[in-house]
Amino acid sequence: MGVLVGRKAPSFSASAVVNGGEIVENFSLDQYIGKNHVVLFFYPKDFTFVCPSELHAFQNKLAEFEARGTKVVACSTDTEESHWGWLQVPKGKGGIEGVKYPIVADTTKTITEAFGVMCGEYDYDEDLNMIANGPMIAYRGLFLIDKEGIVQHQLVNNLPLGRNVDDAIRMVDALQFHEENGEVCPAGWQKGEEGMTASFDGVADYLTNH
């Protein structure tokens, strides 16, 4: 799909593990339309190394996202049973026990592909058997989706590169500031700072005073 910014986030329905251990079917982001902003992030695999550091980092900041009316949702191509099993393993042993936000099981890999973050490609042989070229797992993609279901920000890291959760919060703040005030956010903008009007005069005034 390439760049999704400015476009409707792909719709999906899949099994997910919620509240740290409850498996639900037909989980969808549609439940948040008109109500919440959403940070949807993809990670490569359960029971790996960089991934638990990211999942715990999002959990540690979950109250900050919730205070902003923003839902956090994770997704990988593992099964819901794998997610559930990993959630039973203590943090000190490499697990993600204590993570409460939903973790979607993209076992068909269709969600990962629809969001354009598939690591690996596939083709078909002459007998129409699928042949994978690569691991067929998700890159570290992150998508900020507004209340209308439109993607406003996306970030994709290669497998070895963990993300900065504080910057995801900063992007939520920037989007909400723009929605509430109509002003735009300059480089390095932080919550509580001034924005600027989207005009040459606005830019000139901002640069003169900063």
Classified by CATH at the fold level, domain 14-162 comes out as: Glutaredoxin (3.40.30)
pTM, two decimal places: 0.91
- SS3 at position 8: strand
Q: What is the residue extent of each domain of the chain? A: 14-162, 164-210
- Please answer whether residues 155 and 3 qualify as being in contact, where contact means their C-beta atoms are separated by less than 8 angstroms: no
- SS3 at position 75: strand
> Residue 142 is inside which H or E element, if any?
strand 140-145
User: What is the rounded CA–CA span in Å between residue 91 and residue 187?
Assistant: 36
> Which residues are tagged catalytic?
51
- Per-10-residue mean pLDDT of the chain, 210 residues long, equals 91 98 97 98 97 98 98 98 98 97 96 94 75 86 98 97 97 96 90 80 57
